[in-house]
Amino acid sequence: MTRFRPGWRWRLLAYVGAGSALFGGVGLAHFALVGEVWLWGLGAPLLAAGAVMAWRIPTVGAEFDETQVIVRGLLWSRTIPWDDLEDIVTELQFAAVVWRTADGRRVVTPITAVQPGRLNWLPYRSTKRRRAFMAALDRWSYDNHQMQRCAEPGSRSRPGSQALPLSNGCGAVEGPDQSVAP
């Protein structure tokens, strides 16, 4: 199983954000106890979101194996079976897995642990690690689609990509015989 977990800087910033939400929620709850009851409407959700974020920070990341892709964010998780996978967006700013549900709905799941967001000042090593993970995920997806293509003659390309020219990638040439008679 190949995994990606954000580095310590990302985790530190996430804990600061979760701590701010907890601090704000506690502050609003305090004022609600003093007499401003309507502040419970703001303080309780803020307190709950901060607690969930703080609890989920250690699990944030992405991983894949032969059968599935698992993407874990601060507030949600997705397990995407291989058969439902449609495409992978490898550009870091928009890193995502595109897949279809059983009823055919197209879903784009962002890989937030890999996306740097507006943090263009990330160290080179961190960016290199993110790109290496996305390249491995893309290679895994391509290789698995390649095996599926070899098992299904007539399918020439990975979903969402351009068709391959003559070869189906399995060692055979599709279409009419391209050889020249002697």
* 28-61 residue pLDDT tens: 877 777 777 777 788 888 888 889 888 988 888 8
pLDDT of residue 162: 37
As a CATH number, domain 60-160 is 2.30.29
Task: List the strands of the sheet with 2-4, edge to edge.
Answer: 2-4, 61-64, 68-72, 77-81
DSSP letter, residue 159 = T
Domain spans in the chain, listed from the N-terminal domain onward: 7-59, 60-160
Q: Residue 146 above 70 pLDDT?
A: no
Tokens standing for 166? 């003559």
